[in-house]
Amino acid sequence: MAVAAVKAMGLVVAGVDILRSHRGPLILEVNSAPGIEGIEQTTGISVTEPIVEYIEKMVAARKSNRPIIA
């Protein structure tokens, strides 16, 4: 659901706020500049480094006209 929302917005990196409801999960918003610090503090997982590495790969691929591979 979150990945589909990010793709629908034409983004590569984003934060998706999801709310549990009696109808099932609902997307509240898609953030193009997510609060990484809160995610890392809450989960204990460092997500900054993999995001930066992915962006660096995208930039390098565009500069060399190679296909972008995640």
pLDDT, averaged in runs of 10, over the chain (70 residues): 95 92 96 86 90 88 73
DSSP state of 21: -
| pLDDT score recorded for residue 69 | 63
CA neighbor of 35 nearest in space, from 24, 20, 51, 19: 51
| pLDDT score recorded for residue 2 | 95
Placement of tokens 């999960």 in the chain? 25
- The letter for the amino acid at 61 is A
Beta bridge partners of 15: 31
Angle, helices 36-43 vs 48-64, to 10°: value is: 130
| pLDDT score recorded for residue 67 | 67
